[in-house]
A and B are shown apart, each in its own frame.
Chain A
Amino acid sequence: MSTFNSRGVWAIYRFEMHRFRRTVWTGLAVPVITTSLYFVVFGSAIGSRMQEVGGVDYGSFIVPGLIMLSLFNESIFNASFAIHMPRFTGTIYELLSAPLSAFETVLGYVGAAATKAVLVALVILGTANLFVDVEVAHPFLMLLFLLLVAVTFCLFGFIVGIWAKGFEQLQIIPLLIVTPLTFLGGAFYSIDMLPEPWRTITLFNPVVYLINGFRWTFFGTADVAAGVSLLVTAGFMLLCLGVIWWIFRTGYRLKA
């Protein structure tokens, strides 16, 4: 009976969505307020000095980067918290004793975390629309890219949640690695604005490709080719899947 335990996946997904629903107002208020603040600071203060980037109004230009920044953080936070919590409270015993494969477990948790992250991203897009004109050149590809990045970073968050020994450690990776890489990865500027050698160095930052791929779906132009962006995203996703596969095979920090 290696049949897929779809009810088990659904149970986890629903459980997680319930958890989000309990904090839905703070969960949505935070991104709305943060986005508004970014527009006040970047859009008005800086944007008044920088009218256009590559033919795009600066206020509109930062929207994809802003969404990506939130998407990274939301995805990592949701997924890492989701799997860290049962480890912390001990309720993980039930998960480990259930007839669920690693794939099903991850599908339930990452599915729910990614759903929430994408919803938040769309709320941010909506909020941004109140401040600036945002036109999406390739809406379908935009959604696809959103989903792909959300899933990838949720997988990454899942790994963080299993690796972390306490709640403080959950914050470390987003704070020390992801947020800096995002700020340095052209979330709020075009890397073509950088002098050499910084421009070349920046090309080693994988986040550059994620942001630019996403920006391309909005404006049809970006600093790097959309295909390369897609490749980098897919590569990161495969890497995360590999690590998770290893975690479940060895029981790393899950089983004694």
Chain B
Amino acid sequence: MQQADAPPVISIRGLEKAYASGHRALNGVDLDIAPGEIFALLGPNGAGKTTLISIVCGLVTASAGAVTVGGHDIVRDYRRARALIGLVPQELHTDAFEPVRSTVAFSRGLFGRPADPKLIERLLRDLSLWDKRDAQIRELSGGMKRRVMIAKALAHEPRVLFLDEPTAGVDVELRRDMWALVRSLRGTGVTIILTTHYIEEAEEMADRVGVISGGELIVVEETAALMRKLGRKELTLHLAAPLAAVPPELADWNLELADDGRALRYRFDARAERTGVPSLLAGLARAGLSFTDLDTRQSSLEDIFVDLVRERRAA
């Protein structure tokens, strides 16, 4: 679906944002999004994900830089740029007394599209909201409200959909539905940009991932390539007797001594065909070392950020 050589559907250049408080939320972001791709923005709280999306969608004014959507500048040619975009914001913002169907129809009108009851019906059915079509929004559960917001964002048939933390506070089933929806939208050529805190989510859904931290895009890469870098695990072996140094026969594994010699730490690629774990355990036995306990840990998002930032500084 992704057209690598087509001109980008979104192009961001030198984007900066300093809020009135003086806080710098974005520090010169450059990013191109290809038409039809699913792009995940991965980053911790306060990284600037929502700020970035809000600028592209017209909710926040950039301090510097330029953005085009479908080749249209978001400031000078805002009508054409915005007509292409659908936004599902991070927070639940809905009217209370509006019925579901009319709020979705309202969104379509707001974007200048002619009424299309058939399309609204299909949307509501796809999002399992058809039974609630005449209910007031305040009568819905949180998950249903989120679906209403998705329906509103899709009502004008956008070419680009922004999902700001679509799975925050959402149960497993809705999450599955959401991903099914994202995939089917992608099937119709819609470009999707989503934000998340979870590596797994980015990995499962996205064609490409951008890691953002402190208002800077640290890395943008194909998901598979990034996962090779990020998918690290750490094995800790708690030894029966402390060691002064790593025994030479275990030099191949690049082990680290920790906890005053009472633990050995081994970092490995969980996705590699050979993780080296079985052979390490065999080697340990050969060296006559016994351990009382062991645990493995996925590298956390924070570890990854630290690694990536360090890597970038070194480069």
Give A residues with C-beta under 8 Å from B: 1-3, 5-8, 10-12, 14-15, 18-19, 22, 89-91, 93-101, 251, 255-256
A98 touching B82 in the complex, CB below 8 Å, given contacts A11-B109, A15-B106:
yes
Residues of B within 8 A of A90 (CB): 89, 91, 93
Residues of A within 8 A of B20 (CB): 256
| Nearest CB of A to B25, in Å | 9
Residues of A within 8 A of B87 (CB): 93-94, 97
A22 touching B106 in the complex, CB below 8 Å, given contacts A8-B112, A97-B85:
no
A91 touching B93 in the complex, CB below 8 Å, given contacts A1-B80, A99-B82:
yes
Residues of A within 8 A of B106 (CB): 11, 14-15
| Nearest CB of A to B131, in Å | 22
Q: Would you mind naming 25 contact pairs between A and B with Cβ atoms under 8 Å apart? A: A2-B79, A7-B109, A7-B112, A7-B113, A7-B114, A8-B109, A8-B112, A10-B109, A14-B109, A22-B97, A89-B93, A89-B94, A89-B95, A90-B91, A91-B95, A93-B93, A96-B57, A97-B58, A99-B78, A99-B83, A101-B79, A255-B59, A256-B20, A256-B59, A256-B61
| Nearest CB of A to B21, in Å | 10
Looking at the complex, which one of A5, A6, A91 makes contact with B79 (CB distance below 8 Å)?
A: A5
B27 close to A (CB within 8 Å): no
User: Across the interface, do A94 and B152 meet the contact criterion of CB distance under 8 Å?
Assistant: yes
Looking at the complex, which one of A12, A251, A255 makes contact with B110 (CB distance below 8 Å)?
A: A12
User: Across the interface, do A8 and B110 meet the contact criterion of CB distance under 8 Å?
Assistant: yes
User: Across the interface, do B102 and A18 meet the contact criterion of CB distance under 8 Å?
Assistant: yes
The 10 closest A-B pairs by CB, nearest first: A11-B109, A90-B93, A99-B79, A99-B82, A5-B112, A97-B57, A98-B110, A99-B83, A256-B60, A11-B110
User: Across the interface, do B111 and A99 meet the contact criterion of CB distance under 8 Å?
Assistant: yes
* Bound: A14/B110 CA distance, A: 11
* Bound: A59/B112 CA distance, A: 49
Q: Mark B1-29, 1 if CB is under 8 A from A, else 0.
A: 00000000000000000011000000000
Q: What range describes how many residues of B lie at the interface?
A: 35 or more
* Bound: A10/B106 CA distance, A: 9
B107 close to A (CB within 8 Å): yes
A94 touching B107 in the complex, CB below 8 Å, given contacts A1-B79, A89-B95:
yes
| Nearest CB of A to B211, in Å | 24
| Nearest CB of A to B298, in Å | 35
Residues of B within 8 A of A100 (CB): 110
User: Across the interface, do A98 and B111 meet the contact criterion of CB distance under 8 Å?
Assistant: yes
Q: Mark B284-299, 1 if CB is under 8 A from A, else 0.
A: 0000000000000000
| Nearest CB of B to A190, in Å | 45
| Nearest CB of A to B196, in Å | 20
Residue in A closest to B92 when the chains form the complex, CB atoms: A90
A255 touching B60 in the complex, CB below 8 Å, given contacts A8-B112, A99-B111:
yes
Residue in A closest to B97 when the chains form the complex, CB atoms: A22
Residue in A closest to B20 when the chains form the complex, CB atoms: A256
User: Across the interface, do A91 and B111 meet the contact criterion of CB distance under 8 Å?
Assistant: no
User: Across the interface, do B110 and A91 meet the contact criterion of CB distance under 8 Å?
Assistant: no
Most chain-A CB neighbours within 10 Å: which of B58, B96, B110? B110
Looking at the complex, which one of B19, B93, B97, B102 makes contact with A256 (CB distance below 8 Å)?
A: B19
| Nearest CB of B to A204, in Å | 37
Given contacts A6-B112, A7-B114, 20 further A-B contacts (CB under 8 A): A1-B80, A5-B112, A8-B110, A11-B110, A15-B98, A15-B106, A18-B98, A22-B97, A89-B93, A90-B93, A93-B57, A93-B93, A94-B87, A94-B93, A95-B110, A96-B57, A97-B57, A97-B85, A97-B87, A99-B80
User: Across the interface, do B110 and A93 meet the contact criterion of CB distance under 8 Å?
Assistant: no
* Bound: A76/B111 CA distance, A: 27
Residue in B closest to A23 when the chains form the complex, CB atoms: B97
